[in-house]
Structure 1
Amino acid sequence: MFTLAVVAAIATLAFLGLRHPALGVLGWTWISLMNPHALTWRLADAPVAAIMAVSTLIGLLATSDRRNFRFSPEMVVLSMFMAWMCITLPFSMRFDPSFALWNRVMKIDLMILVALFVLYSRQHIVALAWVMVGSVGIYGVKGGLFTLATGGTYRVWGPDGTYIYGNNEVALALVMVIPLMRFLQMTSDKLWVRRGLVASMVLCAVAAIGSQSRGALLAITAMALVMWWRGPHRARAGLVMLALGVLVIIFMPDSWTERMSTIKTYDQDDSANQRLNAWMMAWNIAKDRLFGAGFMVSVPEVCAVYSPIPTDCRAAHSIYFMVLGEHGFIGLILFLVFWFLVWRSAGKLRVEAARQAETAWLAPLGAMAQVSLAGYAVGGAFLSLSYYDLPYNIMVLVVLARRWMARKAWMEEAAEAADPATVGKRKTLFGLRIG
């Protein structure tokens, strides 16, 4: 029954994507983040993401729905990064497996650009945020309940066969989506929605802690510090955070406490030493190869040449060293510049949107986007999630919001809503404007 429901949902969204690419983008985001087909027995290996992407691209080319081809600085640098990855691909030390991963990354980045072309309204921004929150948050709610039911004895894992299958990866995704829940909670006018989002935020935090991921703990700490620093009542907030920390330590089993305590003794931890070895290998590759070694770095052929300990061949487990080893120093510079621009734009959104009533609803988005990015910057230092969709979707939200402000879209939308002549021409579906 569940499989039939997933098939029906994907088929419907693919059909709608042909007619309205904005809906196709939302469907793509749902599939790429939640991977609902991976939860079924028969669709796990089906190319559902490709189907959704193709239908959306056809809709982009064939329909007359509104487009926005204005490039932002973030889009320019992302396009440069994509071009650089195309340049480095032929120089991969293992071309065939690198090509397979390059193909996957290009699809993700292409659809990110498509989202920036076809989404433009306030409804689109809010709808995309809800899709992101729902797609990842469902695993957080489930994982949080599991952690509470088992007393934190077992680790929380993500859906099999996805970017966030590992306990560390799903934990970082959950940590990053919590601020987006906060944005929706702050801007919703329905009490039951606000309460539901508060409960979801708590359960996602519990699930992230229940994953027993040390990187997630550092990410949560970084996010909490950003929110504490910007909060109006630092002393009170500090006491609340301290009390929550004590409750976590009391609730979680000794195995969790012992694992988290290894953060301060990283030099005696095998996992940390393996990461340091992988990072040094990435550094050696970048020094020797301008174009890096390609997407497949953690393989015996590469480790034998560049790893300080050739027999210890591991993934970089760091968004920074991953890009460095795969695409060299130029690739890393483009990667860092891109995220710096996203952070800066989110900061401008937070400040500028608060200056007038019509745009005040976007100020929390800018603030919470920066909180999410802080978690990604810190937690990602210990995880291989350089190309994961979620942070790039946060970039989409920030760019769309700044565009919305720049063109004074609230005046345009208010004028259209008040003009009887445009009522019959507006295309909507379930209350969402799509044309």
Structure 2
Amino acid sequence: MRDIVIIAIVLAAALIALRRPWIGVLLWTWLSLMSPHRYAYGFAYDAPVAAIAAGSTLLGFLLTRDRQSPFLASPPIWLLLLTIWITLSWSFGLDPSGDYAMWDKVMKINVMIFVTIALLRTRQHILAFAWVVAGSLALVGMKGGLFTVLSGGGYRVYGPPDSFVEENNAFGMALVMTIPLLRFLQLQLTPGWRRHALTVAMLLCAASALGSHSRGALLAIAAMTMLLWWRGQNRLKSGLVLAVVASSLVAFMPSHWTERMATIDNFQQDDSAVGRLDAWRNALGVAKDYPLGAGFSPNKQEFFNRYATGAQARAAHSIYFQILGNHGFIGLFLYLGLFFSTYGLAGRLRKQALAEPKAQWVAQLAAMCQVSLVGFFVGGAFLSLAYYDLAYDVMALVVVAHIWFKQQSWTTEPVYPRRWWSLPGLPTEPTTRKKT
């Protein structure tokens, strides 16, 4: 039954995407972040659902006139340069044929990000995309949060099977990045049960992130909390609330979780941390000897023997050193340029949109995207998630919101009729019945 439901949703949305390709963007994002087909037990598990979503979206993109240039802001230009450099690095790398699958995966993600920016033009599009991005991970995170609560935090929480974030540490960071997006969506709702529901969702996602037993996720949560506190209007009140929530969640976790988190201060005695340092030294050595980068295969034992005093070969466990080893110093420069320009654009957008009453939601989105990126910058320092979709989706949100604001789209977009199925956050007006 689960297989039938998933395939039915995919096929229906793919058909709609031929005429409304922005729906295909939502479908692709849902499949990419949540991997719902991996929770099936039959034919849907290995079905080419991502290919169906991408194919229908690209075909619809070619047929529609309702699109814009994806290069109306600086982050997509950085992404284009990075995409070109990654291709060069892969082509002249150590093992182009062996690395083809990873290159192909990265290219598909990047192409779909460009398509996303080109197709999301209205407030309806942007809000729907934000709901899909946040909701895809929040649903899995809430499940993990309930598991953490019911098990007393004694077991680790893992992400969607066969996905970028299947591993517990990666999933923890993804949930940390999702929480600010949920907060943005909450701000779009009128006071009532839906706001309370999103509060519960955020708390469960936080519990799930802690339940992943990821030290990187803990550091990311701490960094985001500090940023939220600093930007708060009443720092004393918000500080007390954040302190109570954080201490309650941490106190709930078992003693072995506390002992694992305590190794952050004593990393020299932790084998995992020492292994990360060896991997970082290896990436630095590879980047020095391979100016174009080594492609996607710098983590070979022969390199660790040369650059990390014979340590056991392992993944970089850092977005920065992962890019450095894979694509060299130029690749790292482009990668940092991409996300620093995104963060800077969000900051400028937040300040500019505050001055326009009809664009307050843009200011809120930009602010929460900045918080999400801080979680990525901090948590990603300890994880090999340089190519993970979520960070690029956050970039896309900032860019499309920036374009919407610069074009003053609130002057041309309609007010939507209020229906029970209306997208939360859209400006609506009550419908009136015609007299007979």
Give SS of 1:291's match. Answer: coil
Answer whether contact 1:278 1:307 (CA < 8 A) is retained. Answer: no
Q: Deviations over 1:184-227 (max 9, x none)?
A: 10111262221111110000000001111000000000000000
Unaligned stretches of 5+ in structure 2? 427-436
**Residues 1:349 and 2:352 aligned together:** no
2:26 alignment counterpart: 26
**Residues 1:333 and 2:339 aligned together:** no
1:363 alignment counterpart: 363
The one-letter amino acid of 1:110's match is V
2:37 alignment counterpart: 37
**Residues 1:383 and 2:396 aligned together:** no
Answer whether contact 2:70 2:114 (CA < 8 A) is retained. Answer: no
1:293 alignment counterpart: 294
1:324 alignment counterpart: 324
**Residues 1:132 and 2:133 aligned together:** yes
2:429 alignment counterpart: none
2:279 alignment counterpart: 278
1:398 alignment counterpart: 398
Q: Deviations over 1:255-290 (max 9, x none)?
A: 100000000000110000000000000000011110
The one-letter amino acid of 2:114's match is L
Give SS of 1:272's match. Answer: helix
Unaligned stretches of 5+ in structure 1? 424-429
Answer whether contact 1:37 1:44 (CA < 8 A) is retained. Answer: yes
Provide the aligned length of Structure 1 versus Structure 2: 420
- After TM superposition, give the deviation of residue 173 of structure 1 in Å: 0.5
Q: Deviations over 1:40-92 (max 9, x none)?
A: 12333332112211111111112333444543111111000000011111222
Answer whether contact 1:21 1:59 (CA < 8 A) is retained. Answer: yes
User: Within 2, Cα distance between the matches of 1:194 and 1:205?
Assistant: 17
Answer whether contact 1:68 1:120 (CA < 8 A) is retained. Answer: no
The one-letter amino acid of 1:247's match is S
User: Within 2, Cα distance between the matches of 1:266 and 1:33?
Assistant: 32
User: Within 1, Cα distance between the matches of 2:107 and 2:233?
Assistant: 42
Q: Deviations over 1:306-329 (max 9, x none)?
A: 441435000001000000000000
Answer whether contact 1:307 1:313 (CA < 8 A) is retained. Answer: no
Answer whether contact 1:34 1:136 (CA < 8 A) is retained. Answer: yes
1:59 alignment counterpart: 60
Answer whether contact 1:93 1:302 (CA < 8 A) is retained. Answer: no
2:267 alignment counterpart: 266
2:430 alignment counterpart: none
User: Within 2, Cα distance between the matches of 1:51 and 1:277?
Assistant: 41
Answer whether contact 2:287 2:328 (CA < 8 A) is retained. Answer: yes
- After TM superposition, give the deviation of residue 299 of structure 1 in Å: 3.0
Give SS of 2:384's match. Answer: coil
Q: Structure 1 residues 290, 138: closer, same or farther in 2, change over 3 A?
A: same
1:173 alignment counterpart: 174
1:427 alignment counterpart: none
Q: Deviations over 1:328-353 (max 9, x none)?
A: 00000000011110000111121111
Q: Deviations over 1:218-264 (max 9, x none)?
A: 00000000001111122222233333333233211111000000000
Deviates more, 1:207-216 or 1:60-69: 60-69
Answer whether contact 1:218 1:378 (CA < 8 A) is retained. Answer: yes
Identity %: 46
* TM-score, length-scaled by structure 2: 0.93
Answer whether contact 2:72 2:403 (CA < 8 A) is retained. Answer: no
1:157 alignment counterpart: 158
User: Within 1, Cα distance between the matches of 2:77 and 2:250?
Assistant: 45
User: Within 2, Cα distance between the matches of 1:412 and 1:350?
Assistant: 21
User: Within 2, Cα distance between the matches of 1:392 and 1:293?
Assistant: 23
Q: Structure 1 residues 190, 244: closer, same or farther in 2, change over 3 A?
A: closer
Answer whether contact 1:115 1:396 (CA < 8 A) is retained. Answer: yes
Deviates more, 1:119-128 or 1:360-369: 360-369
User: Within 2, Cα distance between the matches of 1:82 and 1:69?
Assistant: 14
Q: Give runs of aligned pairs for residues 112-261 of structure 1, distance below 5 A.
A: 112-189=113-190, 191-261=192-262
Answer whether contact 1:18 1:59 (CA < 8 A) is retained. Answer: yes
User: Within 1, Cα distance between the matches of 2:191 and 2:7?
Assistant: 31
User: Within 1, Cα distance between the matches of 2:216 and 2:242?
Assistant: 18
Give SS of 1:19's match. Answer: coil
Q: Which ranges of 4 or more aligned residues in structure 1 deviate by more than 6 Å?
A: none
User: Within 1, Cα distance between the matches of 2:245 and 2:404?
Assistant: 38
Q: Structure 1 residues 69, 220: closer, same or farther in 2, change over 3 A?
A: closer
Give SS of 1:295's match. Answer: coil
User: Within 1, Cα distance between the matches of 2:68 and 2:337?
Assistant: 27
1:426 alignment counterpart: none
User: Within 1, Cα distance between the matches of 2:363 and 2:81?
Assistant: 29
